[in-house]
A and B are shown apart, each in its own frame.
Chain A
Amino acid sequence: MRIIIVGCGKIGTALIGALVREGHDVVAVDNRPEILNRLTNQYDVMCLPGNGADFETLSEAGVERAELLISLTSSDELNMLICFLAKRRGARHTIARIRNPQYNRSSLDFLRQQLDLSMPLNPELLTAQEIHNVLQLPAASKVETFSLNSFEMVELRIKEDSPLIGHQLMDLRDHFRAKFLICVVQRGNEVVIPRGNFVLQSGDRIGITADRSELWKLLKQTGLARRQSKKIMLVGGSRIAYYLSKRLQSSGSKVVLIEVDKTRSEQLHGTLPNAQVFHADGTDQERLLEFGLLNQDAFVSLTGMDEENLLLAYNAKIQQVGQVIAKINRDEIVQMAEQMGLENVISPKNVVVNVVLRYVRALENSMDSSIEKLYQLMDGKAEALEFVVPAPAPFTNIQLKNLHLKKNILIAGLLRNNAAIIPDGEDMILPGDRVVVISGQRKLKAMMDILQ
């Protein structure tokens, strides 16, 4: 489908890459020719120099045939205007980046309605939500909640002393007497959907699906669960820090916030009266210790510099803070962080790409396939897809162990009458079920695609 992206900064470029990989017709609009030059060389897109709010640029981009327009310029107001115009010119759906907190309060619904926006996009808010999710479940680096909140998937890394090591996967269920499924494993840079005879090693990053209560049981038994972080230190008073502090406070956590800029720190204290705000350079170790780094449950580095965040997080890890999260945007630094043993790295860019990709997939599915929802796992190297099985099909009423599934496909969960089933080989898919399928690298369109 035809997708127009206006504004090709960091997030725009990442989004273009992802959408082109999905096979969409992408038109990129930007007023900086040097950026467009780089884009044409790198991706199969049409690049148009110009202002996205310009009528002619929009028609040249083929807005009347566009399924979706995403406006990501640095100005919220311009984004709103572009989406408004595009909608009037015939774009079917529009997404605008609106990041100013003022617009993100009560006025957002009004704006959204008046501009007929399909989705407002606030990268900082989304990132804050993601970080918040991780802080809620201390052992995991990422949490996904599938339909109706009844079962979840967590991504976590296996430590050297983990009791999961050394057992074949098929023995684990009996061993821990919990119903769960290890449905995806990343070892090094490779992502596999493991079979029953797979043996975990330390350093593996795994995805576990289970019913919510079962998951906790498991995490406790394996010693993976820890106390939920209640005292959290944030370095860097960005918008992400603001949104995150708000959420943390409302869930009862104590926040220590360190910001280097005086006016900004005062501003923050004005809007977050319950937080402890310090005006100091967060890279100064002495200061961090003075502000009580060692007493914290969690440490989050949110400054504007990837390198600084990496080093801050590394330092906190060495000081043995329970949970360390770093915000890092550039892919190569994310990799570096993983090599340095930092498990929780959050990239706002990837967060936004996932959200938009999910939206685009949903749009596509509403057209020609039966995928209900899509989740990206392991940084997009695998996917979890939710299908509804409305009627009997070649894969229903057959025990899963007898189904001839394609390689790298796994049935991770069934949802029947509002109850989650973590299936084993004896279970079968019945008509009316919701099915969660994990797929490594293979793009599935319909449930039928899982069969060989």
Chain B
Amino acid sequence: MNRKMVFFIIGRILLLESILLGLPMAVSIYYWDGGQIPLLFSMLLSLALGATLTRFMRPDSQVIYAREGFLITGLAWVIISVLGALPFVLSGEIPSFVDAFFETVSGFTTTGASILTDVEKMSRSMLFWRSFTHWIGGMGMLVLMVAVMPNLPGRTIHILRAEMPGPTMGKLSPKLSDTARILYLLYIALTVVELLLLLAGGMPLFDSAIHTFGTAGTGGFGIRADSVAGYSPYLQWVIAVFMMLFGLNFNLFFLLTMRRFKSVLRSEELWTYVAIVLASTALICWNIRPLFACFSDALRHAFFQVTTISSTTGFSTVNFDSWPSLSRMVLVLLMFIGACAGSTAGGLKVSRVVLLFKTFRREIRHLLHPHSVTTIRFEGRTVENTTLSSVATYFALYMGLFVLFWFIVSFQPGYDGVSNFTAVAACYNNIGPGLNLVGPAGSYAGYSPFVKLVLSLAMLFGRLEIYPMLISLMPGVWLKK
């Protein structure tokens, strides 16, 4: 194994993180809110570690294989979270390191689950950093590194494949670094558009930035106790629509810029996703209609809650925990489905769900007509059996790990089954709020440090789609030459 290369790339990631910490630093200097010293210290520490690693771990050979790709990704995410947690601890705003780690992992993995009981007490720079981690984690730190740092070897694809969500990875251009750049450009462009639309609706600049970061990364950290409930309906609609957009496969946006509209309209995943969102909205809207005075409110709240959960963001406009159990059940289901592959969202991903259903259908047809030949087509192409079986395996593993996490979390005294179940579901699928004690009005503060660490792990497993974390945790992989 090319250990030097693993640490060399981690070193680069740390250099990048120290640069990225500059933005909250600037915010902190602007508001002079006491976050400067902790942020400066974190920046310098990250810089020093990064410089040391890139200096002393200069690899003899740049060749890496899938194994190194998984390890780099898994390790990098843990390390950036540890360093990203430092400003919170040092500023004393989240004194416990475990809490700060949970919060940062929740930020980078775009989960949005919080241990804060009173978010409005936080300083501006810390709130900014918390939400900025969403934006970085949404598209991915490693993708950013490939986009901005030149001269990486050809096999970088192993790293990106480990970080980018979805069953298969499609390149947008022949060179990986160009692909990463295109993705980030699209990401930035969409972010700017949302920011402008929010500003146009009268939201202050700071609030707009926070909510745009939360939406773009499909994270969901807000700055108010009631999330976005206090903002105008226009602003809520803007956020809802953008949550849905950020849940789409970014390849589609690329195709749009290339003026290949036909290819976009033919995307099966896109239509399935839209259908899921519309159907759930209609169902919930009908279900909660009696709770609201006018239809437009019910529609808005239903649509907002559906997009926030299906795109795995986690903002809320109402406390949906008080909704009828049918609506709550639909929302929990949406948690698992998630949004499209190649988006910033979490969950199983719509394309996997579609492939799973097609596999089930084929299996049943096969039972009825044992000699029938059936191929599965998706997005206009025949899907290979290896892809199908890897999707099925992923699903089994996904559910297996979910049960394991649920089991461990259940040791926590004082929490009911629904809370535990949805807490794990919300972390694992990178959503944020669950139901009952961890609902939109509650927080994760009451869990023991051990459970918080387990939930942090669940978030990382969910964001990186299991394998990178699983492989990084296997000691045998590290010991192998």
Q: Please report A residues at the B interface, Cβ cutoff 8 Å.
A: 2, 20, 24-27, 33, 40-47, 49
The CA of A42 and the CA of B65, in the complex, are separated in Å by 9
Contact B157 A46 (CB under 8 A): no
Decide: B66 and A41 in contact? CB cutoff 8 A: yes
* Per-position binary interface string of chain B over residues 257-285, scored 1 when its CB falls under 8 Å from any chain A CB and 0 otherwise: 00000000000000000000000000000
Q: Is the beta-carbon distance between A46 and B155 smaller than 8 angstroms?
A: no
B158–A41 CB distance below 8 A = yes
Q: When A and B form their complex, which 5 residue pairs have the shortest distance between CB atoms, in order from nearest?
A: A25-B174, A44-B154, A46-B174, A46-B171, A44-B176
Task: Determine whether B481 belongs to the interface, using a CB cutoff of 8 Å to chain A.
Answer: no
Q: Can you list 16 A-B contacts with CB-CB less than 8 angstroms, sorted by A residue number?
A: A2-B174, A20-B154, A25-B173, A26-B174, A27-B174, A40-B157, A40-B171, A41-B155, A41-B157, A41-B158, A43-B154, A44-B156, A45-B174, A46-B171, A46-B173, A49-B381
Q: Quick one: which of B118-165 are within 8 Å of A by CB? A: 154-158
Residues of B within 8 A of A41 (CB): 66, 155, 157-158
Complex-state Cα separation, A20 to B171, whole angstroms: 15
B60: chain A residues at CB < 8 Å are none
In the bound complex, how far is the Cα of B173 from the Cα of A25, in angstroms? 8
Instruction: Name B263's closest neighbour in chain A (CB-CB).
Output: A60
Q: Once the chains are docked, how many angstroms separate the CA of A45 from the CA of B157?
A: 10
The count of residues in chain B whose C-beta lies closer than 8 Å to any C-beta of chain A is 14
The answer for the CA separation of A76 and B171 in the assembled complex, in Å, is 30
Return chain A residues, CB-CB under 8 Å to B175: 25, 44
- Which residues from A are CB-within-8-Å of B156? 44
State the CA gap A41–B176 with chains docked (Å): 12
Residue of A nearest to B158 (CB): A41
Q: Interface majority SS on A: helix, strand, loop or mixed?
A: mixed
Given contacts A40-B171, A46-B174, A49-B381, 6 further A-B contacts (CB under 8 A): A2-B174, A25-B174, A25-B175, A41-B66, A42-B154, A44-B155
Is the pair B155, A42 in contact by a Cβ cutoff of 8 Å?
yes
Judge if B178 is at the interface, Cβ distance under 8 Å.
Answer: yes
Give a binary string over B162-187; 1 marks a CB under 8 Å from any A CB, 0 the rest.
00000000010111101000000000
Which residue in chain B gives the minimum CB-CB distance to A19?
B174
Min CB–CB distance B298 → chain A (angstroms): 44
**Interface SS of chain B: helix, strand, loop or mixed?**
helix
Expressed in whole angstroms, the Cα–Cα distance for A40 and B157 within the complex equals 8
User: Smallest distance from the beta carbon of A104 to chain B beta carbons, Å?
Assistant: 32
Q: Find chain B residues with CB under 8 A from A49 CB.
A: 381
Q: How far is the CA of A41 from the CA of B155 in the complex (A)?
A: 6
Contact across chains for A25 and B157 when beta carbons are under 8 A apart: no
Q: Cβ of A45: which chain B residues have Cβ within 8 Å of it?
A: 174
Residues of B within 8 A of A46 (CB): 171, 173-174
Most chain A beta-carbon contacts within 10 A, residue among B66, B155, B175? B175
Question: Which B residues touch A47, using CB under 8 A?
Answer: 171
Q: How far is the CA of A46 from the CA of B169 in the complex (A)?
A: 11
Distance in angstroms from A90 CB to nearest chain B CB is 15
In angstroms, Cα B172 to Cα A44, docked, is: 12
Q: Determine how close the nearest CB of chain B comes to the CB of A278; give it in whole angstroms.
A: 47
* A81 vs chain B, min Cβ distance (A): 23
Would you give the shortest CB distance from B146 to chain A, in whole angstroms?
10
Taking the closest CB of chain A, its distance from the CB of B327, in whole angstroms, is: 42
Q: Which residues of A contact B173 (CB under 8 A)?
A: 25, 46
Q: How far is the CA of A181 from the CA of B158 in the complex (A)?
A: 46
B174 touches A44 (CB 8 A): yes
Cα separation A20 to B177 with both chains bound (whole Å): 13
Q: Determine the distance from Cα of A363 to Cα of B155 in the docked complex, in whole angstroms.
A: 27
Chain B, Cβ-Cβ closest to A59: B260
CA distance A25 to B154 in the complex (A): 12
Bound-state CA distance A351–B158 (Å) is 31
B-chain residues with CB within 8 Å of residue A26 when the two chains form the complex: 174
B174 / chain A contacts, CB cutoff of 8 Å: 2, 24-27, 44-46
CA gap between A351 and B156 in the complex, in Å: 29
Contact (Cβ within 8 A) A33 B157: no
A43 to B384, alpha carbons, bound, how many Å? 22
What residues of chain A lie closer than 8 Å to B154, measured between beta carbons?
20, 42-44
Query: Which residues on A sit within 8 Å (CB–CB) of B155?
Result: 41-42, 44
Complex contacts, A33 vs chain B, CB 8 Å: 384
Give A41 to B384 CA distance when docked, in angstroms: 18
For the complex formed, measure the closest distance between the CB of B284 and the CB atoms of chain A, giving whole angstroms: 39
Cα A45 to Cα B176 in complex, Å, equals 8
A25's closest neighbor in chain B, by CB? B174
Instruction: Tell me the smallest distance from the CB of A54 to a CB of chain B, in Å.
Output: 12
Tell me the nearest residue of chain A to B258, going by C-beta: A62
| Chain A residues whose C-beta falls within 8 Å of the C-beta of B157 in the assembled complex | 40-41, 44
Kindly state the separation between the CA atoms of A179 and B316 in the bound complex, as whole angstroms: 85
- Of B66, B171, B176, B381, chain A has the most CB atoms within 10 Å of the CB of B171
Contacts of B158 in A (CB 8 A): 41
Given the complex of chains A and B, what is the CA–CA distance between A44 and B171 in angstroms? Answer: 10
Instruction: State A47–B155 Cα separation when bound (angstroms).
Output: 14
- B178 / chain A contacts, CB cutoff of 8 Å: 25
Closest chain-A Cβ to B150's Cβ sits at a distance in Å of 11
A416 to B209, CA, bound (A): 67
Please give the distance in Å from A426's CB to the nearest CB on chain B: 40
Q: Report A-chain residues with C-beta under 8 Å of the C-beta of B171.
A: 40, 46-47
Best-buried of A2, A20, A40 by chain B (most CB within 10 Å): A40
Bound: A46/B175 CA distance, A: 7
CA distance A46 to B176 in the complex (A): 8
Within the complex, what minimum Cβ distance (angstroms) separates A290 from chain B?
49
Residues in A neighbouring B66, C-beta threshold 8 A: 41
> Once the chains are docked, how many angstroms separate the CA of A26 from the CA of B173?
9
Taking the closest CB of chain B, its distance from the CB of A316, in whole angstroms, is 37
In angstroms, how far is the closest chain B Cβ from the Cβ of A441? 16
A27: B residues at CB distance < 8 A: 174
Cα(A344)–Cα(B272), bound, Å: 61
Residues in B with CB closer than 8 Å to A42 are 154-155
* Minimum distance in angstroms from B384 CB to a CB of chain A: 6
